[in-house]
Structure 1
């Protein structure tokens, strides 16, 4: 982090987000402790030696900075334009993406972050497929590599589709999650239930939403099934293009 960015961030946390300097420690030092722990995965004992403070002080200041940054995140983790009127330059200026992805407004994915769970008996739901405790974090990123949404409260054993489904249900009607406007979409993994959300911002995924042929009779619904198949094929085709482009860039 460049020095002027660090100083500006410390000023913001003090003036707007409740980080208070004390006689023993300025806000800049508290922020430096926090960044040093997060960026270099350092222990409390290592920080005691480097910054000459007790373990209790290191832990307390870490939590104070974390609280301020959580408040800060509510203002900064959001789209620059909720209507997504402008096509991202990354799409518009690259022949590999234009015009195929002209409606794309970002990418959604889940990632696992290592977690320490106490007490030990509460750790089981957090055990991921690799055998250690994690949090499953869902995030959306735009084409400027900026986060526009983060959901970070789920256990490592939670499936990605469940996280998306329950997040949409929890945030329905709130101006927090940015539903794609008509004609816009997010790039997602094939297991995400987001294809219908692209076209209908009021759609909520429902695993119990199935056709009952006995109740509705033998009506000819071949057109509806054809449309659904086209939607699935288009989603598969969209993901295939994205995978090919990413492989091309890596090579």
Structure 2
């Protein structure tokens, strides 16, 4: 990035990016720290040594610049123009009406240990799959980050097209790929598997998974399909099943079906019927809305799918779900809601335990920026800067303690209300059970004195268990 581009970016962030300007760190220094971290992938400690700022200051301003950059998405992400019909450019005249190109790229990330299987890509890296769309002059028009590395590019693209604020393709245009006619012709020559062959393949796959033959990303290790071919020939002689294309295509077909059902079960309004072994939907509106953006799910509502549990064991339950993926519009909206939402238990921003680790100049600079001009004039007249600084610190701590006390009082009132509601629900449960009123009073008294016993009562599954538990209480089993 040259100096002119750097100055333009700083001016954009200063004018329309809502960058926090407090007089302590200049906009140019904030942006410089931000770009240095992104370009060189350095840690907080490196920026701390290079710019002589505390680690907390570096982290705070990095997040501030990041939020400001996201607010510029309407300016930085342009709307592409298609290649015109009368284009004479030797490079682009063959791509009439083309809007640009898109592709997914893996970016390595650090995630908790429990999430690593979902983020492990086919190359074995812990990464996130980021979809990028650019115009013909190499300017980004859309970005969708957040999908796990185990998700395929086609799945990320479908998600981008289905989002309200996602990738928009103009009417009359489409995303390149396999046409429906070619897909139907390709499926016309598929081999029909018998029930015996499918059961044998499932048994072999269960054994392979039990022996550790599946990778964390859900795919099988190299040579597994060839091994399945050999074992299928031994289990069913003269079946004629080959690794390619028979077994490989069957695995892809099952994995696709499992993925469709898995995604529906992880959507609000969808559930699994263990008796009928099928998908159930709360309402027709939820189903129509889902199918509108997921065409491959048509026909799965109420469809008998008894293989789901076995396929979940074979292909793994740690499937990518894309819950962390957000478009630039969604990220900007979330930051706006975070800035504008009122939290009645929030301690003022000026009071933070981390601020005690700041340098003396940082601390006093923050306080000076938050005071009125009258206070600044009084401060300039002070003959004892140490005494005035201690007074300001004392006032700040007093105000923070008062607000903290009020917050704890309100929090205690909420806890008391929740406790009263809990005992009210227990009283209703006791009324449904056929016991005398005097016994109900004795039991409630025991619950108030011993909350552990009340917890055991609530954990009981059936009314019979609850009634038996109450009889034991009345018999004195829990008396000290």
Match of 1:37? Answer: 37
Give the superposition deviation at 1:88.
9.7
CA contact (8 A) 1:30 1:65 kept: yes
> Root-mean-square deviation (CA), in Å?
2.8
| Structure 1 position 160, deviation (Å) | 1.5
Matched residue, 2:6? 6
After TM superposition, the score normalised by the length of structure 2 is 0.36
Change over 3 Å in CA distance of 1:58–1:153 after alignment to 2:
same
Q: How does 1:10-159 map to 2 (within 5 A)?
A: 10-81=10-81, 84=82, 87=84, 92-94=88-90, 97-98=92-93, 100-117=94-111, 119-159=112-152
1:135–1:153 CA contact under 8 A, matched in 2: yes
Decide which structure has greater helix share. 2
Where in structure 2 are the equivalents of 1:159-170 lying within 5 Å?
159-170=152-163
CA contact under 8 A between 1:135 and 1:152: conserved in structure 2? yes
Rate the CA distance shift 1:114–1:191 in 2: closer, same or farther, 3 A. Answer: farther
Shift of 1:76: 2.0
Secondary structure at the aligned position of 1:104 is classed as coil
Instruction: For 2:159 and 2:12, locate their aligned partners in 1 and report how far apart those are by CA, in whole Å.
Output: 33
Asked if the contact 1:111–1:137 (Cα under 8 Å) also holds between the matched residues in 2, the reply is yes
Cα distance in 2 between the residues matched to 1:51 and 1:191: 52
Identify, as 1 or 2, the structure richer in strand: 1
Cα deviation for residue 180 of structure 1 reads: 3.4
1:114 deviation in Å?
A: 1.2
Maintained 8 Å contact 2:19/2:68: yes
* 8 Å CA contact 2:17, 2:68 repeated in 1: yes
CA distance 1:24–1:12, shift in 2 (3 Å): same
Which runs of no fewer than 5 residues in structure 1 stay unpaired? Answer: 196-202, 211-251
Tell me, yes or no, if structure 1 residue 177 matches structure 2 residue 167.
yes
| CA-CA distance at 1:37 after TM superposition | 0.8
Distance 1:88 1:23 in 2: 53
Q: Which moved more, 1:133-142 or 1:120-129?
A: 120-129
Distance 1:14 1:138, change over 3 A: same
Q: CA deviation at 1:65?
A: 0.6
Listed one character per residue, the Cα deviations across residues 21-64 of structure 1 (whole Å, up to 9, x for unaligned) are 23321011010001011111122111111101111111111111
C-alpha distance 169-155 of structure 1, shift in aligned 2 (>3 A): same
Contact 1:112 1:156 in 2 (8 A): yes
Q: Structure 1 156/192 Cα, relative in aligned 2: closer, same or farther at 3 Å?
A: farther
Cα distance between partner residues in 2 of 1:73 and 1:6: 17
Equivalences, count = 189
Q: Relative to structure 1, is the Cα distance of residues 80 and 130 closer, same or farther in structure 2, using a 3 angstrom cutoff?
A: closer
Q: 1:77-113 CA distances to partner (integer Å, 9 max, x unpaired)?
A: 13155xx4x5399x6411x542x31121111111111
C-alpha spacing 1:65/1:49, structure 2 compared with 1 (3 Å): same
CA distance in 1, matches of 2:23, 2:2: 26
SS of 1:35 mapped into structure 2: helix
SS of equivalent residue, structure 2 residue 122: coil
- C-alpha distance in 2, partners of 1:68/1:141? 22
Cα deviation, residue 124, structure 1: 2.5
Alpha-carbon distance between aligned partners in 2 of 1:88 and 1:152, rounded to the nearest angstrom = 33
| TM-score normalised by structure 1 residue count | 0.66
